[in-house]
Amino acid sequence: MRATRAVIRLGNLRHNIQVMHQHMKSQLGGEAPQICVAVKADAYGHGVVRCAETALEAGASALGVAAVSEGAALRDAGIRAPVLLYGIARKGELADIAELTLSPFVADDAYIRLVDEAAASAGVKLDVHLKIDTGMGRIGCRPEDAVQLAGQIQHSKRLRLAGTATHFPVADEDNSTFTREQIDLFLNTVKRIREAGINPGLVHAANSGAIIGYPTVWADMVRPGISVYGYYPSADQKRTLELLPVMELVSEIVFVKRVAPGTPISYGCSYRTPEETVIATVPAGYGDGYNRLLSNTGRVLIDGKTYPLVGRVCMDQFMVDIGANPECGVGSTVTLFGPDPSGPNAEELAELCTTIPYEVLTGITARVPRIYLD
């Protein structure tokens, strides 16, 4: 196997779900809401099937995907739990939704009719979730149309209104007025659906940000993603849960060389060694999803010590200055990011690349094998 691999600690994934469950239970002083874990984008880069199975074992009751193909991967693996389709499918994919019994988000009358027809053609009954846009500006009906659409679903013989949902764009900010107004609008809309004599099904809204910061909208079910994989949605949010990163991206030193002062390192010769030192080559690069913006700024963990990345990150390799009297060498394990607090994590890499941990994790490419530890 190639030196570069992503070690996936399923125990940490389980821990994160349990910590979240306990947190909600203790705050509510009773029953905690159900948990629907987002496993879209190959479980945020961690591998969809193993993560989905582990999440269900740890107490999650449903899974969230963005694409029909992701739902198909779960069904192919024999997973029978409800799978919510967070994205809108094309017309040509609706027969697959019915075949796979996925539970799509719906948000307008034309799409509800199409899903209804697909369910009828397949001879199945489908759960759908009405998605209300309360401020995300993405998929979702206008709140004033929600009661009518809920009625349309209720009147269909083939569809069941299994849930009513919304989504938050700034719940990763503590005490956001915008989020509090969204919560009011959402809960009022749900109330109007109930007053019209319609059962809204499971009421759900909270992403990781709202699970951490907005208990008033936990409702019947929550929809975490990033927190299950061990990260906070934002660097600014209060650290109220003990989350453990699930992925450790590791590699190995495959080559070392002693070099003179002034030696240029990597493409563009953007780095020159200030003094005599030993340069180690690590066989990982942006072709593995290790961002090129880490050139000359990143650091790695080797045997409990961190070392600077020098020169540009190449497609398949990068270089590390391990010093004139190195304690490591060919064969030493190199951690690019992971749960060890003495080394970099995906949040640190995200900051260096002016992005978010979500993109660091989902960016690890298919070339990197996922190795599961239970």
Ligand X SMILES: *Cc1c(COP(=O)(O)O)cnc(C)c1O
Q: Which residues are catalytic?
A: 40, 267
Q: Which of 179, 182, 208, 277 touches ligand X by CB under 6 A?
A: 208
Smallest distance from ligand X to CB 269, Å: 40
Q: Using CB under 6 A as the criterion, what x/- string covers residues 100-139 for binding ligand X?
A: ----------------------------------------
Asked whether 237 and 173 are in contact (CB, 8 A), the reply is yes
* Least distance (Å) between residue 233 CB and ligand X: 5
Least separation in angstroms between residue 216's CB and ligand X is 17
- At residue 10, φ and ψ (nearest 5 deg) are -65, -25
Residue partners of 43: CB distance under 8 A and separation at least 6: 50, 51, 52, 229
Of 224, 338, 343, 363, the one binding ligand X by CB under 6 A: 224
How many residues of this chain interact with ligand X, rule: CB under 6 A? 12
Query: Which residue has its beta carbon closest to ligand X?
Result: 225
Asked if 266 interacts with ligand X (CB under 6 A), we say: no
Integer Cα distance of 222 and 242 in angstroms: 18
Q: Which residue shows structure tokens 């994919």? A: 93
Stretch near ligand X under the rule CB under 6 A, chosen from 13-21, 115-123, 191-199, 223-231: 223-231
CB 125 within 8 A of CB 159: yes
Taking the complex as a whole, the smallest distance from the CB of residue 116 to ligand X amounts, in Å, to 22
The interface mask with ligand X, positions 228-257, x = CB under 6 A, is -----x------------------------
Contact letters (x/-) for ligand X, 150-179, by CB under 6 A? -----------------x------------
Q: How far is the CB of 167 from ligand X (least distance, A)?
A: 5
**Near ligand X in 12-71, by CB under 6 A:** 38, 40
Q: Which is nearer to ligand X, 63 or 122 (CB)?
A: 63
**What's 165's DSSP letter?**
E
Length of the chain: 374
User: Is 44 exposed, middle or buried, given 0-12, 13-18 or 19+ CB atoms closer than 10 A?
Assistant: buried
Among 4, 54, 207, 291, binds ligand X (CB under 6 A): 207
Q: How far apart are alpha carbons 23 and 18 in whole angstroms?
A: 8
Whole-number Cα distances in Å, 203 to 14, 28, 82, 144, 188:
24, 16, 15, 17, 12
Candidate ranges 113-121, 156-164, 225-233, 248-256; the one touching ligand X (CB under 6 A): 225-233
What 3-state DSSP class applies to 227? helix
State the DSSP H helix or E strand holding residue 18, giving kind and residue range, or none if neither. helix 10-28
Least distance between ligand X and beta carbon 25 (Å): 19
Closest approach, Cβ 200 to ligand X, in A, equals 17
Is residue 347 within 8 Å of 232, Cβ to Cβ?
yes
Amino acid at 243: L
Smallest Cα–Cα separation from 104: which of 47, 160, 170? 160
Q: Which is nearer to ligand X, 143 or 233 (CB)?
A: 233
Nearer to ligand X, 40 or 370 (CB): 40
Tell me whether residue 95 or residue 241 sits nearer to ligand X (CB atom): 241
What is the distance between the alpha carbons of residues 91 and 94, in angstroms, rounded to a whole number? 6
Of 369, 337, 374, the closest CA to residue 1 belongs to 369
Which spans of this chain sit near ligand X (rule: CB under 6 A)? 38, 40, 86, 167, 207-208, 223-227, 233
